[in-house]
């Protein structure tokens, strides 16, 4: 693949679970490293999207930390990798307004995320929640992005982006490159996501106490989740108390042994070993405690190294990366915005 733009907006959290890290941040890092030689990679902080909900006084601190996490995870920077803050590139907001005048109430009110967040259109909902996907369309269309790696909950927004872009092109002449259809997005993410076996399993780290569920930051029980900032003793305690089953054999079987399978998956990812190899190593073993000890040691060691790398990156370094990214983003986005303004006769 060559000459494409791959773009994603990353939600900034105050804290990140090992599940978020292994399931989203690390795959995006690998994807970037794999494609950045011949393609443009745009990773941006959608800070304007963030303020539709609680205004978080920690946003600046957290976004710096998030970028350090990418770097500590091994994100390789080169002239094709651009990291920027949405609000530092005014063209996003400006294009959003123009697209507001092309998108319809009908298609926008059909968005599942809008319905959920607005409790089916409750009158006290802020307009930002409604307009969210249109700003997202602007984020994507300004850069002519083809691939937009996101979670499933965002697929509907990508389809909406395609529809708006298509309508715009039809009404005002070819202006926008359409992002790939959802099915192609899924294929692209699968191909970029490591080994065959990992693909088959789907990288979704489970809740340690309820392994039928995804590991979630909002889980009540502390022992359900591993945070990227956890100390070794804490990690060990959590993994040793992970829920398993009473089958007494170590095998990868998400249906009947989700707890054990989750541990095998975590072991594979933090040691960088193909899942199949981890499964073979443990095949025939029966002591769950041994597996837990091994996984606890692997995760603790991994987090210790990771935290050390994070602590070695300075805030200044991060701001320099952002400023470079914003310079690039403004150049590209301004050019596209002017094209759009001309198309709708504002210029
Ligand atoms: N809405 C995305 C999310 O919640 C974040 C986002 C904003 C985004 N703009 C984007 C993702 C543009 C991809 C492209 O995860």
Predicted local confidence at residue 191, as pLDDT: 85
What pLDDT score does 13 carry? 85
Expressed in angstroms and rounded, the spacing between residue 227 Cα and the centre of ligand 1 is 23
CA of 32 to the centre of ligand 1 (A): 17
Cα–Cα distance measured from residue 65 to residue 13, given in angstroms and rounded to the nearest whole number: 9
150 CA from centroid of ligand 1 (Å)? 7
Angle between helices 315-343 and 155-172 (to 10 degrees): 40
Judge residue 308's burial from the number of C-beta atoms within 10 Å of its C-beta, 0-12 exposed, 13-18 middle, 19 or more buried.
exposed
Which ligand 1 atom is the nearest neighbour of the CA of 135? 9
CB 142 near ligand 1, within 6 Å: no
- Separation of 10 CA from ligand 1 center, angstroms? 6
DSSP category for residue 214: B
Instruction: Locate 163 and state its tokens.
Output: 């529809």
Nearest atom in ligand 1 to the alpha carbon of residue 149 is 13
pLDDT at 335: 98
Supply 289's token pair.
């405690």
State residue 17 phi and psi, 5-degree precision.
Answer: -85, 165
Asked whether 136 lines ligand 1 (CB < 6 A), one says: yes
CB atoms within 10 A of CB 145: 23
pTM score of the predicted model: 0.93
Residues belonging to the active site: 117, 214, 217
Which region, left, alpha or beta, applies to residue 202 given φ > 0 means left and ψ of -120 to 50 means alpha?
left
Question: For residue 56, what pLDDT is reported?
Answer: 78
pLDDT 10s digit of each residue in the chain, 347 long? 999 999 999 999 889 999 999 999 999 999 999 999 999 999 999 999 999 987 878 999 999 999 999 999 999 999 999 999 999 999 999 999 999 999 999 999 999 999 999 999 999 999 999 999 999 999 999 999 999 999 999 999 999 999 999 999 999 999 999 999 999 999 999 888 754 444 444 568 999 999 999 999 999 999 999 999 999 999 999 999 999 999 999 999 999 999 999 999 999 999 999 999 999 999 999 999 999 999 999 999 999 999 999 999 999 999 999 999 999 999 999 999 999 999 999 99
Atom 3 (ligand 1): residue with closest C-alpha? 11
User: Can you tell me which atom of ligand 1 is nearest the CA of 132?
Assistant: 1
Q: Which domains does the chain have, with CATH numbers?
A: 5-194+314-343 (3.40.50.620), 222-310 (1.10.240.10)
Residue 139 CA, distance from chain mean position: 15
CA of 246 to the centre of ligand 1 (A): 41
Ligand 1 pocket, residue 92 CB under 6 Å: no
DSSP for 186-201, written as a single string:
HHHHHHHSS-HHHHHH
Cβ(332) – ligand 1 distance below 6 Å = no
Q: Give, for ligand 1, the residue of 132, 154, 179, 188 to mutate: max count of ligand atoms closer than 8 Å to Cβ.
A: 154
């Amino acid at each position: 693949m060559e000459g494409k733009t791959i773009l994603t907006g990353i939600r900034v959290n105050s804290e990140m679970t090992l599940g978020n890290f292994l399931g989203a941040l690390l795959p995006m890092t690998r994807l970037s490293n794999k494609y950045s030689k011949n393609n443009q990679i745009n990773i941006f902080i959608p800070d304007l999207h963030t303020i539709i909900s609680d205004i978080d006084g920690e946003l600046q601190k957290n976004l710096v930390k998030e970028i350090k996490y990418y770097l500590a995870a091994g994100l390789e920077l080169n002239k094709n990798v651009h990291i920027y803050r949405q609000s530092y590139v005014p063209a996003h907001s400006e294009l959003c307004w123009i697209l507001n005048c092309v998108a319809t109430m009908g298609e926008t009110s059909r968005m599942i995320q809008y319905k959920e967040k607005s409790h089916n259109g409750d009158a006290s909902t802020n307009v930002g929640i409604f307009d969210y996907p249109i700003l997202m369309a602007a984020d994507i269309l300004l850069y002519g992005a083809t691939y937009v790696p996101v979670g499933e909950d965002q697929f509907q927004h990508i389809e909406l982006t395609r529809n708006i872009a298509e309508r715009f092109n039809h009404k005002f002449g070819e202006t926008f490159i359409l992002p790939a259809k959802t099915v192609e997005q899924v294929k692209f993410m699968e191909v970029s996501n490591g080994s065959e076996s990992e693909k088959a399993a789907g990288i979704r780290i489970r809740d340690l106490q309820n392994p039928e569920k995804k590991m979630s930051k909002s889980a009540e029980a502390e022992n359900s989740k591993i945070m990227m900032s956890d100390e070794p003793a804490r990690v060990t305690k959590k993994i040793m108390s992970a829920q398993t089953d009473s089958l007494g054999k170590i095998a990868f079987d998400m249906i009947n042994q989700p707890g054990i399978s989750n541990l095998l998956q975590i072991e594979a990812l933090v040691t960088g070993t193909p899942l199949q190899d981890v499964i073979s190593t443990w095949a025939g073993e029966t002591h769950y405690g041994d597996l837990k000890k091994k996984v606890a040691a692997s995760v603790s060691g991994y987090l210790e190294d990771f935290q050390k790398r994070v602590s070695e990156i300075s805030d200044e370094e991060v701001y320099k990366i952002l400023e470079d990214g914003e310079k690039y983003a403004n150049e590209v986005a301004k050019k596209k915005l002017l094209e759009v303004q001309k198309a709708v006769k504002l210029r």
